[in-house]
A and B are shown apart, each in its own frame.
Chain A
Amino acid sequence: MSCLQTIQDYGLRAVGYGERLLPKEDFTLCEQFTLIGSGMIWNVYFGVLALILGFFFANALAMAKGSRHLMLRKPAEWFIFVFRGSPLFVQFFFGYFLFLSLKQVYPIFTPFTAAWLGALVVLFLNTAAYSAEIFYGALRSIPKGDVESADAYGFSGWPRFRKIVWPTMLRLAWPAYTNEAIFLFHASALVFFSGFPSWQQRGDALYYANYFADKTFNPFVPYPIFAGYFIILTLIIVSIFGLVNRRLNRHLPQEARRKMKLKMNVIR
């Protein structure tokens, strides 16, 4: 069977198109590349959606945590503490079993027990908590002078927040947020190992890599393929976030626009 045929059969296997049965024996390199690559669809799906939804929620959470009102601050602090203080792996399990019991009472929760929605919800809440902590840290380190000059120019309330505080916060938080994005995509590989079942063997990249490693008892082929895909994905994330970083800092003089440095002490 030619490689083109394999790609046609298995290229979209992870989302349910093409050949129904997975290859059983005599795995070719092409099959492994195609299937693991098709699994990447799920990793990208989880990563992108959780990141975009989480971004908005994280902003709200950071504002709430920085708020003067106890009723806003305390819930946000607790939310962030719970999601940052416990392992994502256990959160996945807890979320799955929680949805499973909710489903018994309210049938509306049925789709939540499937990975595509349930795991997405958990990932979304998780990344919102981590990003909120990053944004909150940035919010507190906005230079005093910036806010004072805004006051001097007569900015206040919403316009001050929209035009001065928020962009500065994003600018300060961006390198750490890039890191968070990378780790969020990495975390998406956990989904199918943590309770959420894979329906009709539709799984993410690691699910297929693990499938091949189990069948061939040879980890030296599928895992490096998987690693290769993820390194490419990481490079893409870094370059997209680098572009945004350039736009955020476009008002600065050329020399001051330092290249974004990714620090290791802010990993999750």
Chain B
Amino acid sequence: MFSFCTDPDVLGQFQWLSCYLTTGKHMSLYVSVVVVLVLLAITAPTALLFGFGGAVAARSRIPPVRWFGKSYIAIVRGVPDIAFFLFFVIALDQAFEWMRHKVLCPDWTDPIRQGNDFVVCQAAKLPLSSSPQWVHETYGFFVAVLTFAIVFGAFAGNILFGAMRAVPRPQLETAEAYGLSRRQTFWRILVPQMWVFALPGLSNLWMVLIKATPLLFLLGVEDIVYWARELGGTKTSRFTDYPHGDWRMYYFAGLLVFYLIFTRISEIFLERLMQRLTRGQATTGGEAQRKAAA
């Protein structure tokens, strides 16, 4: 990258390191950090949406919808999330291909599952085998995001369901007394007030989500864990200008520090948000703020 990098063998230690850390492969590592951030930025709102849907379904008056919502938000507690990740990545992929197969090739008669193979017609393949590399990568990323959203949506649903029940009952009764309909009560009274009850759970969930991002590696996305393993491994001078021993330990120490800083910043930010949301609420926190101000 720098002009003095043309012959790495003659460089001093500091210059060598600055050249080493800006090779093309290291750029991929830095890009994958951005990928992680993008994943978080997309997954968090999507999971919240899934969770909201799940919580609303669990409160529904229609039994089948209620059962669906309850089982959705209950199932993730008993089973490790990593199992869901491994499961959904294949299951979603097969589900998409199966649907496309049914639509695109209606006159296909062979069974889709033949022994140990999953066979769909060429046109139903996802992504199409003729599509360029970036489509494959984007599709993989999309499936990963959806998987994360489903699993963390269930956690969020559990939290929001609890938060909705934590809103003081008199608030809803007052709304009824003023003649608000069920829908109005829900959107104007319940939803604005539930956030302060949901926030401790949601901030914890955000931390869990950050710490789940390295699992992207298992979903086949070339993420930071992949690159740390790749770049840290022993390199001989035959294949690279920057030979080094087994440095994977240092790379993972670097990842550790990256996540520590990230979670610490989130913690400080969420604490501020909590202070902000507590203002004027009928909770002990809000009461304390009121007294401090007076």
| In the complex, chain B residues whose CB is within 8 Å of the CB of A213 | 86-87, 90
Residue ID in chain A nearest B261 by CB atoms: A85
| In the complex, chain A residues whose CB is within 8 Å of the CB of B80 | 186-187, 189-190, 206, 230
| In the complex, chain A residues whose CB is within 8 Å of the CB of B162 | 263-264
Residue ID in chain B nearest A87 by CB atoms: B211
- With contact pairs A230-B80, A231-B78 given, residues A206 and B159 touching in the complex (Cβ less than 8 Å): no
Residue ID in chain A nearest B203 by CB atoms: A265
A264 to B225, CA, bound (A): 28
B: contact size bracket: 35 or more
B83 contacts A223, C-beta separation under 8 Å? yes
A226 at interface, CB cutoff 8 A: yes
A90 at interface, CB cutoff 8 A: yes
B255 at interface, CB cutoff 8 A: yes
Interface with B: A10-18, A97-105, A110-118, which one?
A97-105
B86 contacts A217, C-beta separation under 8 Å? no
Tally chain A residues at the interface, Cβ within 8 Å.
Answer: 45
B88: shortest Cβ distance to chain A, in Å?
8
Query: From residue 168 to 223 of chain A, which have CB atoms closer than 8 A to chain B?
Result: 182, 186-187, 189-190, 193, 206, 209-210, 213, 215-220, 223
- With contact pairs A219-B90, A264-B155, A267-B208 given, residues A97 and B249 touching in the complex (Cβ less than 8 Å): yes
Most buried by A among B208, B259, B264: B259
B77 contacts A265, C-beta separation under 8 Å? no
A265 contacts B83, C-beta separation under 8 Å? no
Query: From residue 244 to 266 of chain B, which have CB atoms closer than 8 A to chain A?
Result: 246, 248-249, 252-253, 255-256, 259-260, 263-264
| In the complex, chain A residues whose CB is within 8 Å of the CB of B214 | 87, 89-90
B86 contacts A88, C-beta separation under 8 Å? no
User: Per a CB cutoff under 8 Å, which of A93, A190, A217, A263 touches B117?
Assistant: A217
B116 at interface, CB cutoff 8 A: yes
A90 contacts B225, C-beta separation under 8 Å? yes
B91 at interface, CB cutoff 8 A: yes
User: Per a CB cutoff under 8 Å, which of A89, A216, A234 touches B225?
Assistant: A89
| In the complex, chain A residues whose CB is within 8 Å of the CB of B225 | 89-90, 93
| In the complex, chain A residues whose CB is within 8 Å of the CB of B255 | 86, 90, 93-94
User: Per a CB cutoff under 8 Å, which of A101, A189, A231 touches B82?
Assistant: A189
A227 to B87, CA, bound (A): 10
A9 to B17, CA, bound (A): 54
| In the complex, chain B residues whose CB is within 8 Å of the CB of A263 | 162, 201
A124 to B200, CA, bound (A): 26
B81 at interface, CB cutoff 8 A: yes
- With contact pairs A216-B116, A217-B118 given, residues A89 and B90 touching in the complex (Cβ less than 8 Å): no
B273: shortest Cβ distance to chain A, in Å?
15
A249 at interface, CB cutoff 8 A: no
B214: shortest Cβ distance to chain A, in Å?
4
A267 to B117, CA, bound (A): 39
For the residues of B in contact with A, the DSSP-based class is helix
- With contact pairs A193-B82, A231-B78 given, residues A265 and B90 touching in the complex (Cβ less than 8 Å): no
User: Per a CB cutoff under 8 Å, which of A87, A189, A193, A264 touches B213?
Assistant: A87
B89: shortest Cβ distance to chain A, in Å?
8
Most buried by A among B80, B116, B218, B248: B80
| In the complex, chain B residues whose CB is within 8 Å of the CB of A206 | 80, 82-83, 86
User: Per a CB cutoff under 8 Å, which of A86, A216, A217, A266 touches B259?
Assistant: A86
Residue ID in chain A nearest B156 by CB atoms: A264
B253 contacts A94, C-beta separation under 8 Å? yes
B231: shortest Cβ distance to chain A, in Å?
13
Residue ID in chain A nearest B251 by CB atoms: A97
User: Per a CB cutoff under 8 Å, which of B117, B218, B246 touches A97?
Assistant: B246
A264 to B118, CA, bound (A): 38
A220 contacts B246, C-beta separation under 8 Å? no
Residue ID in chain B nearest A82 by CB atoms: B260
* 5 sample A-B contacts, Cβ–Cβ < 8 Å, listed by A number: A97-B232, A206-B82, A213-B90, A223-B83, A234-B78
The 5 closest A-B pairs by CB, nearest first: A265-B201, A186-B80, A94-B252, A87-B211, A97-B249
Residues of chain A having any CB pair with chain B under 8 Å: 25, 81-82, 85-91, 93-94, 97-98, 100-101, 182, 186-187, 189-190, 193, 206, 209-210, 213, 215-220, 223, 226-227, 230-231, 234-235, 263-268
Instruction: Known A-B contacts: A90-B256, A100-B248, A216-B116. Give 11 more (CB < 8 A).
Output: A82-B256, A85-B263, A86-B263, A90-B252, A91-B256, A93-B229, A94-B253, A98-B249, A100-B246, A189-B80, A218-B116
